[in-house]
Amino acid sequence: NGQPWCEIQGQVNGNTFLHYTCGSQEVKLFSVLDVNATQAWNQQRDTLQDVVEELKKTLLDIKAEITAPRGNNCPLSLQSSMMCEQESNGRTGASWEFGLDGQISVHFDPRNGNWAVLHGEGRVLKQTLASDKDMTNLLARTSVGDCRKW
């Protein structure tokens, strides 16, 4: 049907600064910050591409299982968000959320490595992501490193 099986947006305070479509080799950067931030966002793009490639490898095996209840003609949309926050003690906290068709289904806390299913459709997604130690480590490293820079 020509639709990408995933699209990724990077946002800061609700403003999109990059967009990536799975299957494409191009990450589009948008200037929502000052021009001096371009180098930092280019590095962010590279990190994002690494995460996307690992997600694709991890999730391709279960793509059919996730989409089966919907039928093959219904495209599935996967969303992923990394949140960074400054805690009151000055430390930086981070978390990840993964959604299917706009419904946040899985939460990951990189500080303690805990995964939680927030919506029933996320069970298979959580089991797959949580069982892949390389993926878990990549998400933890990315959030710790990137949140400190922001």
* Backbone CA torsion sign across 2, 32, 12, 92: positive
Mean pLDDT of the residues in the chain: 76
The pLDDT value given to residue 56: 78
Between the ranges 7-11, 44-48, 49-53, where is the mean pLDDT highest?
A: 49-53
Closest CA relative to residue 128, chosen from 83, 40, 66, 79 = 66
Q: Where are the domains of the chain?
A: 7-149
The confidence band for 67, taking pLDDT boundaries of 50, 70 and 90, is low
Is the confidence at residue 92, as pLDDT, over 80? Answer: no
Q: What mean pLDDT is predicted for residues 25-45?
A: 63
Cβ neighbors of 17 (< 8 A, separation 6 or more) are 10, 11, 29, 30, 31, 32, 33, 41, 44
Q: How would CATH label the architecture of 7-149?
A: 2-Layer Sandwich (3.30)
Is the confidence at residue 115, as pLDDT, over 80? Answer: yes
Q: Please name the helix (run of DSSP H) or strand (run of DSSP E) that holds residue 15, with its range, or none.
A: strand 15-21
